[in-house]
Structure 1
């Protein structure tokens, strides 16, 4: 099945973006779950500004989309993006990351911003 062909320059930009382990892991998590920044802060044990920076880069590239839920912003994988087939082909070769959210749930931290 032939998807949209993307320019080399754009593909390189996306691959460079996903070359960061934290961002790659975020995208893999978002492939099956929507998350807010506070959950990523817990998962990666990183500061909120650092996580927001990663998410902003993914959002600016169109890989990730956001939805407002009350005062919170929930992030999800942008499946309408021209880059989605490229991203999806990478993600299908990566190990499942759902256990990270399971750990959050067990600690009572899943969607702690509701």
Structure 2
């Protein structure tokens, strides 16, 4: 399998985007499963507009995808992005965020 090499500008852009603690944590959560905006609101204790702003930046950069299901919008990491291998590697070098998802599941804060 041939390794994909990002242009330095693209790599710098993705790293700058994920240099924000909230967006890096979002990527860590999305590494495990897709999440709804309302779940991020609960995890980060932030307003829905603030969460949506972070997600818009990630979406516009092609880092995440969105899927609509009724009134809900679900986000997932874009595994088809040329930057995905860089993001995946980065996430493996920061604390695992799965415990935050476990808390949501215990609270039944799962959108469906």
Q: What is residue 72 of structure 1 aligned with on the other side?
A: 72
In structure 2, the residue corresponding to 1:74 is in which secondary structure?
strand
Write out the 4+ residue segments of structure 1 that deviate beyond 6 Å after TM superposition: none
Q: What is residue 51 of structure 1 aligned with on the other side?
A: 51
1:54-98 deviation per Cα after TM superposition (whole angstroms, max 9, x unaligned): 000000000000111122111000000000011111011122111
In structure 2, the residue corresponding to 1:109 is in which secondary structure?
coil
Q: How many residues align?
A: 112
In structure 1, the residue corresponding to 2:73 is in which secondary structure?
strand
Structure 2 residue 14 is matched with structure 1 residue 14: yes
In structure 2, the residue corresponding to 1:80 is in which secondary structure?
coil
Q: What is residue 102 of structure 1 aligned with on the other side?
A: 102
Change over 3 Å in CA distance of 1:2–1:93 after alignment to 2: farther
Gaps of 5+ in 2: none
TM-score (norm 1): 0.92
Contact 1:101 1:110 in 2 (8 A): no
Gaps of 5+ in 1: none
